[in-house]
Structure formats: structure tokens, C-alpha cells
Structure 1
Amino acid sequence: MPKTVTASTLVLAAIRERVAALHAAVDPDTEPVPALEDPAVGTHDIGSEDTSAEDGGTSVTLPATDDETPDDDIPVVGEEDGLDLERLADALADLDAVVTGFASLIEDSHLGALRAELAWARSTVEETRALDGTVDVLEELVEDLDPTLRQGPVEARVGIVVASRTAQSSDAVAGMLAQPEWTSLLAHADQLVLTAPIAGGKPKHATKVLARALADADAAAREAADAAVAQAQGSDHATEPALGAVATAAATVATTAGVTRGVLGKQARKLGDAADALAGALDERRRTEAVAHWLVDLADLAHRAGEPSFTYGVLHAEARARRAAADEALAAAVTAYTKPKLHKWLKDLS
């Protein structure tokens, strides 16, 4: 990385990249507003999975009606047309992580409004992403089921419930994009790029300034992880606020480390990789727990419609086993992330 690189240039480049991605996610044919010169340095985005908005799957049961008895040829999930929700979720999460990780360097009176708007948008979009993840696990369990254990129109019953929930989530996202708050979010994001109110304009201070930002994000993630360890083990709730806070904080660390690793080196990369692994473990834990809740409701719905519920019990046992494995993986990820040697170097730099 050139010695002329400043923290402000690097952070602005990261913001520009993510604002452009946000515009492209909702309208691929529209050029984003920012028109500043590209900096002479690249950014290295480690990437992250944000699991802050979690779907507990506790209310999927629908009233059984006479025309609700499914046909065997109904698919489990249909492909969605139109907006790429995964791309939109990633763009929102990435921009949120950058403005959170480098908030101490951003001198913009509208930053608070932008962060509030991002939280509002993510609460809707991430719910849809969480739903998709839950459906993926459910499909895997059904696909791997021993055919001799299938009783009743299981795939079709799952398809009815999934289609209903997917339609609701898609409608919510479409409604979000039509709100004035969404227009305001884009305007604030564009303004942040165009006015470029980023502190840290001296190259000689780049290492210290960026290390301090990463250290702040790291401290927040470790604090959240410490608070969640006891709550995560053996709990029956997929929407634990403590776990959501860890996922959000881990995503911020992963993204912040990705932006700064060109200056801070391989230690930043290792920290970002550990944070990314923690976020992934949290996502798997949430999905497996959500599926277990779904299967309880599916069994109830099938029973009230006069269908055998035995198969859902078998699937539920598999989901609980997968949840137990996810608990172990989460504990290992927390242990790996909280190792002192992964963080000590930051204190020396910042």
C-alpha cells in the first residue's frame, strides 16, 4: 500500500463502492450519483453475513380451510422474479457496516439519520434473507429424508406455508422501497459520498487512525460475544437479542478489517476472517433453530388438516440434532474470536 494513502481516502473509497452497490441493487441500469475521482488504492472487502434480523419461525401456522389440502406436485419453493433481494440485503449490510465501523471518522450531521434509515431498511430486508436461509435448511432436511418415513403430502404442505411467508416478505420489501424513508436513505448516502466529510487526511496518521477504528469495532464485538455465550447454550429461542448484536458487531469487524487490511496487514485479515466465521456460525445457529419451530407448526397444521404428522416429528429430531451441532460450532467460533493474541496487536497500534 502506498505511503501516501490516507485514512480518509481509504474510507471514502469504501463508502463510494458500497453506495454504488446499493444503487445497482435496486436499479442495475442506473449510474450512482457519486462522481469523485477514484483513489489510487483498492479496498479489500472480506465480506460478511449479517444475521441481525432473525426469523424465529414461531408463527407459521395458517388456518386450515377446505381448499387447503395440497396436491403432491406443488413445489416447495418457487423462484422469485424481479428484485434481487440477496443483493439488496448484502448492499445494505455492507454500507451499514462501513458507516458503523468508521463512524468516528465521519464528520457529517446527517450520519445519524443515515444509520437510522439503514437500520429501518435492514429490519425488513434481513427478515426476508433470514426466511430464505430457513427455507434452505428445511428443503435440505426434506430432501435427505428416508422415503420410507414420508407420510402425507409433506413437500406440498411445506410449499403452502413457504409460499405464504415468502409472499408476505416480498410484499414488505416492495412496500419499503416505495416509502419516502427509502428515498431519504439514498439521498443521505449520496450526500455522504459527494461531500466526503471524512477525517484522517494525513498519510502518516493512517495506520493509527485505521487501527483505532478497527479496535473500537473489535471491542464492541467481543463485548457482545461475551454477553451472548451463556445465553446461547441450551436456549430454545432463535431470536435472542444478544445473538443478533453479536452478528451485527461481527459483520462490522469483518468489513472494517477488510477495508483496512491494505494498511494494517495480515493481522487485520486474520481478525476479519475470525469475525466472518463467527457471523457464519451465528447464521447457521439461527437457521437450525428457526426450522425446528417451523416443523412444530407444520405438524400442527397437518394434524388439523387430517394429514399424518409423523414425518414432521422425524424432521424435527433431525433439526434439533443440527441445532446441537450449530451450538458447538458457535461456541468454537466465539472461542476462536476471543483469543487474546488475535487482538493484542491492535492495542499497540492504536
Structure 2
Amino acid sequence: MTDTLREVERKYVLPDSPGGAAGGPPAALPDLTGVPGVAEARAGGTVTLDAVYHDTADLRLAADQVTLRRREGGHDAGWHLKFPVAPGVRDELHAPLSAELPDELAALVRSRTRGAGLAPVVRLVTSRTVTRLLGKGGRPLVDLAVDDVRAERLGDRLTVTSWTEAEAELAPGADPDVLRRVDKRLRRAGLVGAPSPSKLARALAETGPPAPPREDSPPPRTAGDHLLAHLREQVEAIRALDPAVRRGLPDSVHRLRVAARRLRSVLRTYGSLLDRDATRPVEAELRHLGAALAADRDTEVLTGHLRERIAALPAPLLLGPVEARLRLWSAARGAHARDLSLATLDGDRHLALLEALAALLADLPLRGAAAKKPRKPLAKALAKEYRRLAGRVDHALALPPGDERDLALHAARKAAKRVRYAAQAAAPGIGRPAARFAQRVKKVQRLLGEHQDAVVARAALRELAVQAHAAGEPSFTWGLLYAGEDARARACERELPRVWRTVAKRGAPAG
């Protein structure tokens, strides 16, 4: 079992120094009791921390600023895994000290390692002198540490370096403004922000070779450049959201599915610029990933919607154990969906997809038209996708209300989503017309999405009514809710012609 802590800290460069006198802050640091909100600076003593950092041979974790270590010493000895959240902010997961890496942590780095083995790469032995800044009543605010660090690069040849640095870390639950005020006081005293985001990054840089830098591509000039930039952004999102889904973070499943859909949209829409023989298998695997995650996300959204509908009903219309029935139904669906999501992420097929995406970015299979200036080839491909959307909308509107129209509107929704994502990908190359076009299509997509949500809710409410009836419970409330969802679907159908005209009137941006 792992524990998670949100780590908010600032790191500073310090000259080598032995530290200060006992009972007070180290000599290299200024007196911080004058900082607003700080009532006391209490010495916390000195502790030795012995940490071994693990990574792949080509430092894939470090390249993504992810750190995995086994540390002895201190109050939190054990395995630590840190994910970047924002500059100076990381999520730190703890697992108990053990000889082998816990399976749960190994799964969380799988999207970065992509099956490559993990091994010790750096050992850091740190002598840490701590001063705790306290507020009124002894409430912890900031832990201030001076670290004397000895770093050993492990492997065939041992390389050693050492330095001294300071670190100010916000205490759990403390006001972030306190850390900003402490930071300001330290900088005024001459401390300089550390150039490396972590001790590991500095150790790797000074013992060589460092982690491979993130690619800073030149500004995109061709259509192919724009496609590559967009694809890289979505692949990075998939890698980062894989562990977020495993951790059950809010909205992570939805965001991972969106990244997969955006990738699929670009690969399909801009097939005239890409070798489809190379990209079609990747597109198929992205579709499989999205479908496997759909049940988890759909159950979450649908349950939330039905709870809101039930809460809005007057008490006299709530007949039977309605809320309890919904909880049972949702728990059964949710557990199965969650298991399916995790099994998908743990499977060999997902690992192969991650490898295929890495290979795609390393050598994007561009066709000749991709070397042209972006506006014309991107607009031409986008216009073709728009015509497909127009055909689906027209077909759906021509059908009478019923199941066949519902299916046609769902197909139009998927086409609208694909056009919107493709337009957003093209916007940096085409300019404002593509961005505005994406906004117009988004309105159609939202309306069609609301219609599909109502269709799905109707099916779920019928299922709940059947279960309630079989258990001897009243089904009146479920029927009432069903009628409401049916009315919502029909209202969307009546609204669609007007919303669609705002898109059809201008069409896709010209090349």
C-alpha cells in the first residue's frame, strides 16, 4: 500500500559549509523568524539519508523528471516515487522499505520504462540539518534543510561528486504564501535558485552522461512539422496519464481517452501527409485503448448525472429505495470497468502501443506533401473530413425519430469530435480561421454529445427499472426519469438543425 504526499518546495545553491551552531539555523541561512507568520525557528537536528535511485539504462525516468528511489534513514525510509506536477511541485508516493521494488510502483512507471529493466544508477548520501519554521501555537509551516550531498554514479565505473544545497519545503496543510515569503527572504540574503530540478538531475549532470534532454524542436515551418508537434504533445499526455489512471486521479480516464482520440484524429484526417500503411496499425490500437477505458469513464459520468436527477426530484416522487438501487448498480458496473481499465494498461498490447508511439515520434512516416507550407495541405485534409461530417449530419436529420436516427446521430457526434480535434491540431499552421472553425464544430459536438448521453441514460434507467421490479420495488421513479431523458434527447434533435447551420454556413477554412 502506498501513501501520497503533495511536495511543494524550493531548492537553492549554497557554498560548501559545515553548518551552523547547535540549537539554531545553519550559518549559511539567514534568521527567518522575522518572516510574517513565522513565530519560531526550531532546530530539528541532523540525519543521514542514504538513497539509491533506479532508472533504465538510457535514463527514461530522469528524462521525464520522474524519480524512483529506495532510501534508508529519516522518518520516511522506504521506496519513493515522484511525479512532476508543476515547477517546484511534485506528487510523492511512499511504499514501505523492502529489498525489491513494490509491484504497485513498478506499474506506475511502466508507461515511461516501456518494458526496459530498472537498475540502480545513482547513490546519494545526504547529511541533512533541519530547521522547522513554526507559526502560532507551534503549527508547522516550512521545513528548511541544509543538505551536504555526496553523489556516486553507479555502474562499471564509479564517479563521485559532492555539493551543498538548501531546501525549503511547505508543511502539509500550510499556506503557500508562507513559502513564498520565505523564498523572498532567502533570495534577499543572497541564496540563488538551484539550476537543477532535483538532486538526481544534478548528480547525473555532474557525473555524466546526464539524462537525455527534452527535445526543443525549432518552430514548425512545414505541414509535417506541425503534425509532429501535435503528435508529440498527445503521446506525452498518454505517458503521463497512464499512472494517473492507475492512481484513480479525478478526470484522468477522460483525459487519457481524449489524448488517444486526438492522436487517432490526426492520424486519420491527415492521412494524405502520412504513410497510412505505417500509421493505420497505431490508429487501431489507439481505438482499442479508448474502447477499453470507455466503460470506466461512462459509468462515472452517468452515475453522477443520475444522482443529480434524483436529487432534483420532489420527495413524493421518490418511491422505493432509489438511491440505494443506484449505488448498487453503479458499484457493480464501476468495479468491472475499473478492473478492465487496469488490465488494459497492464497488458502486453498496451506496452506494444507505447513502443509504437515512441517509434512513430522518432521517425514520423511523412509523405511528400508534408514538406510543403502548412496552410494548403492541412486545410485540404480538414475540408475532406468536414465533408464526411456534413454527410453524416444530413443523413441523421433525414431519418425519422427512433433507434436508427439515434445511431446516426451518434456517428455524427464521433465525426464532429474528429473534425474538431483535427481543426485544433491544424490551427497553429492555418491560423485563426481553423481555431474559429473548431469552436463552431464544438457546439455541434456538444449538442450531439448531450443527445447521446440522454440515449445512454435511457438504457440505464430501463435496466434499473427492470432490476427494481424484479426485486419487488416500485419502478415509478425510474420511469419518470426515463421520460425526462427521452424529452432531453428529442429537444437536442429539434435544436440540431439550427446549430448545424452555423457550421454549414461558413464551412471549413480554405487553403
Q: TM-score, normalised by structure 1?
A: 0.75
Q: 1:154: which partner in 2?
A: 322
SS of residue matched to 2:474: coil
Q: 2:102: which partner in 1?
A: none
Unpaired runs of 5+ residues, structure 2, are 1-217
1:134 to 302, 313, 328: 302
1:304 to 470, 475, 486: 470
Write out aligned runs for 1:295-334 (5 A).
Answer: 295-334=461-500
Q: Which whole-Å CA distance do the structure 2 matches of 1:313 and 1:228 have between them? A: 27
Aligned in 2, Cα 1:172/1:302: closer, same or farther, shift over 3 Å?
same
Larger radius of gyration: 2
Aligned in 2, Cα 1:329/1:167: closer, same or farther, shift over 3 Å?
farther
1:6 to 222, 228, 231: 222
Amino acid at match of 1:234: P
Aligned in 2, Cα 1:282/1:83: closer, same or farther, shift over 3 Å?
closer
1:210 to 374, 378, 383: 378
Write out aligned runs for 1:173-212 (5 A).
Answer: 173-199=341-367, 200=369, 202=371, 205-212=373-380
Q: Which whole-Å CA distance do the structure 2 matches of 1:24 and 1:6 have between them? A: 28
Aligned pairs, number: 292
The answer to whether the 8 Å contact 1:141/1:319 transfers is: no
Shift of residue 6, structure 1, vs aligned partner: 1.2
Shift of residue 251, structure 1, vs aligned partner: 1.7
More strand by share: 2
Aligned in 2, Cα 1:151/1:319: closer, same or farther, shift over 3 Å?
same
Shift of residue 81, structure 1, vs aligned partner: 6.2
The answer to whether the 8 Å contact 1:238/1:290 transfers is: no
Output the aligned Cα RMSD: 2.7
> What per-residue deviation string (whole Å, max 9, x for no partner) do you get for residues 81-138 of structure 1?
6993122212211211121222221136431110111121122223333333322321
> What per-residue deviation string (whole Å, max 9, x for no partner) do you get for residues 134-172 of structure 1?
223212211111112111111010111111111121122
Q: 2:184: which partner in 1?
A: none
More helix by share: 1
Q: 1:112: which partner in 2?
A: 280
1:245 to 407, 411, 433: 411
Q: Which whole-Å CA distance do the structure 2 matches of 1:223 and 1:322 have between them? A: 24
Do residues 235 (structure 1) and 451 (structure 2) align? Answer: no
1:225 to 387, 393, 409: 393
Shift of residue 194, structure 1, vs aligned partner: 0.5
> What per-residue deviation string (whole Å, max 9, x for no partner) do you get for residues 235-270 of structure 1?
246961x33432222122112211222332332122
Instruction: Tell me which of the two structures has the higher relative contact order, counting C-alpha pairs closer than 8 angstroms and 6 or more residues apart.
Output: 1
Q: Which whole-Å CA distance do the structure 1 matches of 2:497 and 2:327 have between them? A: 33
Write out aligned runs for 1:160-175 (5 A).
Answer: 160-175=328-343
Q: Which whole-Å CA distance do the structure 2 matches of 1:219 and 1:259 have between them? A: 18
Aligned in 2, Cα 1:127/1:327: closer, same or farther, shift over 3 Å?
farther
1:122 to 290, 309, 319: 290
Aligned in 2, Cα 1:297/1:310: closer, same or farther, shift over 3 Å?
same
Shift of residue 28, structure 1, vs aligned partner: 5.8
The answer to whether the 8 Å contact 1:260/1:268 transfers is: yes
Unpaired runs of 5+ residues, structure 1, are 30-78
Amino acid at match of 2:359: Q
Write out aligned runs for 1:11-50 (5 A).
Answer: 11-27=227-243
